[in-house]
Amino acid sequence: MKFSSVSVVSNYDSALTDYPAVTNLSSGARSMIPMSASHPSVQRLLNREQGILKFNERVLAMAGDASVPALERLRYITIVSNNLDELFEIRVAELQQRLKLGRDDACALESSLDDIACRARELVDRQYRLLNDTVRPALAAEGIVIHLMADWSEAQTEWASRIFDTEIEPLLTPIALDPAHPFPRILNKSLNFIVELDGHDAFGRRAGVAVVQAPRALPRVLAVPPDISGHAHGMMLLTSIVQGFVGRLFPGMKVREVHQFRLTRNSDLFVDDEEVTDLREALQGELLQRQFGDEVRLEVSADIPEHLVGLLLGEFELGARDCYRVNGPVNLVRLQQVIDLVDRADLKFPAFEAAVPATLRARDLFAAIRKRDVLVHHPYESFSPVMRFLMSAARDPSVVAIKQTVYRTGDDSALMQSLIDAAKAGKEVTVVVELMARFDEETNINWAAKLEHVGAHVVYGVVGHKTHAKMALVLRREPDPSGTTRLRRYVHLGTGNYHPRTARLYEDFGLFTADEEICADVHEVFRRLTGLGERGQLRALAQAPFSLLDMVLESIQREIAHARAGRKAAIAAKVNALLSQPVIDALYEASAAGVQVDLIVRGVCALRPGVPGLSENIRVRSVVGRFLEHSRVYVFHNDGDPAVWLASADWMDRNLLRRVEVAFPVRDRKLRDRVIDEAIKVHLRDNLDAWLMDAEGDYARSRPRGRHAGYRSQMALLERLDAHLAG
């Protein structure tokens, strides 16, 4: 497959957006982007941070949906908190850093931070109202009660007192604030208490303010015995118990105020691409400092007095804009423990057992793949064939080499253990470990060390370009019809990570193939990642940062040409995010030419759909349901012979220009039709979990109209694939 050469250099110079002006385009690239794109205005693109917040509003709507089981509604509340943490740790931290450096337009940065704070505060307020007014009462009606201190019975108070004295107090270290006791270093996202006291201590010192830090070894949710609780599932929060008995840490003192607080810090890691000589060593040094990055956000209890808020903001050098008052625990992520403690299947989504496609149930997995390409759609179909592919390769004496990329795989991974076993067995094992996978850096460093210990070849990709491609290559020595042996390649390519746990929660596609062109291309990509030399020509795959953007732009231009020639033209894509300006401008041009464009974008989308003269032929929807929509699928009508691509890459500049990503074609006609149906058509029918985006970037939830029945795409796929596989 041949793509014209395109060189795109991004110039970042905007505080409001992450969309670069596109400069230094080759002549081939200029022909693929409308002239108006060379001077984009903010009006053509929507703000990234606001898009992230709107996505979380859609997630929070699931917590307010009465049709969602009660414990799952609580789970959505915790997911929003986790997402907001990352927004502040990375995106807001970056904007604040730019403001401090003074290299950007300060007014624009301040305005952007104000807008984020305004919408984030509204979202947080709605989140706590849902928790307190809707979700907790719904759980209480089912015997799942979180006992707040104000409502403790005598028996509950005695139990909490005993737990404080025996399990909590020995781990606490109260720190008074005075010239001999400076303000302690506060860990990122840790639970802390600020205590205001009256009285004098044993040294005659007049009491003032103290800080108590809750060690992370302490559980944030404690199960209360049913006979004490009076309910089948009673619980207390660590915050309530500490606040109830904190005075015991200060004998003889009077506690005037005690309030919880939580600090969010900049958690992005910085590794100088030009200075680093050992990426793993440099990253390990950075990880030690992640807990103490620059302060970004302060969360406090709603009833904390102003003078204590002022003390904390002054200590952390934050402003009023950065302070969030909450009516409940400052870290709702920890309420996930409630879900883990309660064994009530009726209050969770119905359990299902993902089946294995019949083709992959054969004893000889490699023979099945050799016969034809096999598609798997997780979580509707089991991830076990992927595990079996690598585990059997590790044991198979005919397998001589295994190569795999690792982005996220988990602390306890049978797949990684298989690679270790293969290396121990004397096979050539090459693993490209992405050490910069955000928040999984330490896990990946540990796996890299274990792999190196058993003699596997471990590389970290290309400094400055995260390796985000999902590839596994197995080389097997097999007899051919003439009786001589030859090396045959087998490949698994995916849109998601090699992570068995998330494969039960994330929607993704995987392809097993022995197609010689695809296998040769995967071999070439591994060569680029592990060695040196000029890049060879790929025949089937498109790879970022070299040819993936070219392929997307050329495919869009082909649809434009069909439309202008009077032929049917259509584009459909399913991605997690759409931010790339070259792609957006090309889609605008396609719309103007009459191409019908359907975009299913789970998260942030910078494109404005439905604008007359700009994007009236573009529709954008987002699907938020039980599973996290994660696959990346590009479909181009191609005059009736659809070109269908599966990919690891979203349509973002970082994916298309600054990462190692792979898009792979689905060549089998039946599998191609299946992808179009299961990734595109089914979601375009959804009228319960789909959200329709307007030109201002706002979303309205789709609802059944007229006599149309309600249709949930994820439920339809569960029922369809389960019925198909059972038959």
Same domain for 341 and 411?
A: no
Pick the closest to residue 290 from 277, 272, 271 (CA basis). 271
pLDDT of residue 178: 78
* Residue 125 forms part of a structural domain: no
Nearest to 130 by CA among 190, 76, 168: 76
Residue 72 lies in a domain: no
Q: Which two tokens stand for residue 526?
A: 């591994």
The last residue of one of the domains, among 522, 540, 558, is: 540
Which domain CATH number covers 259?
A: 3.30.1840.10
235 beta partners = 146, 223
Do 534 and 636 belong to one domain?
no
Let me know if residue 719 belongs to a domain: yes
One domain, residues 564 and 663:
yes
Give the range among 42-51, 64-73, 444-453, 585-594 with minimum mean pLDDT: 444-453
Please report whether residue 106 resides in a domain. Answer: no
Q: What is the mean pLDDT of the chain?
A: 88
pLDDT band with cut points at 50, 70 and 90 for residue 520 = very high
Alpha-carbon span 181 to 211, nearest angstrom: 10
Assess whether 643 and 711 both reside in one domain: yes
Q: Does residue 715 form part of some domain?
A: yes
- The answer on 708 and 719 residing in a single domain is yes
| pLDDT tens readout for residues 671-695 | 999 999 999 999 999 999 999 999 9
- Residues belonging to the active site: 468
Hey, what are 63's tokens? Answer: 């917590």
508 and 643 together in one domain: no
Sign of the Cα pseudo-torsion (69, 73, 78, 80, in order) = positive
Q: pLDDT at position 48, please?
A: 94
Q: Could you write out the DSSP letters of every residue in 43-75?
A: GGB--HHHHHHHHHHHHHHHHT-TTS-HHHHHH
CA distance 569 to 598: 12
The answer on 652 and 630 residing in a single domain is yes
pTM for the structure as a whole: 0.88
pLDDT at 385 over 90: yes
Let me know whether 205 and 162 are in one domain: yes
b/e map of 630-665 (b: 16 or more CB within 10 Å)? bbbbbbbbeeeebbbbbbbbbbbbbbbbbbbbbbbb
In 3D, which of 509, 498, 505 has the Cα closest to residue 413? 498
Q: Which of 501, 523, 540 is the last residue of a domain?
A: 540
Q: Is there a single domain that holds both residue 518 and residue 630? A: no
More confident residue, 485 or 211: 211
Closest CA to 462 of 493, 430, 436, 499: 436
- For residue 103, tell me if it sits in a domain: no
114 lies in some domain: no
Q: Are residues 440 and 526 in the same domain?
A: yes
In terms of pLDDT, which residue wins out, 656 or 363?
656
User: Do 333 and 390 lie in a common domain?
Assistant: no
Determine how many CB atoms are found less than 10 A away from the CB of residue 206. 10
Tell whether 168 is covered by a domain: yes
Sign of the CA dihedral running 576, 582, 584, 587: negative
Q: Quick one: pLDDT at residue 247?
A: 95
Structural domain count, the chain? 3
Q: What is the pLDDT of residue 209?
A: 93
Say what the pLDDT of residue 440 is.
61
Residues 343, 376, single domain; the answer is: no
CB 676 within 8 A of CB 642: yes
Cα–Cα distances (Å) from 7 to 25, 246, 524, 561, in that order, read 6, 62, 21, 23
215, pLDDT greater than 50? yes
Contact 581, 22 (CB under 8 A): yes
| Per-residue confidence band for 1, with pLDDT thresholds at 50, 70 and 90 | very low
Which of 491, 519, 540 is where one domain is finished?
540
In the predicted model, is pLDDT for residue 103 greater than 80?
no
The better pLDDT of the pair 267, 36 is held by 267
CATH number assigned to the domain comprising residue 471: 3.30.870.10
Domain that holds residue 630: 9-48+543-726
Q: Are 187 and 256 in contact (CB under 8 A)?
A: no
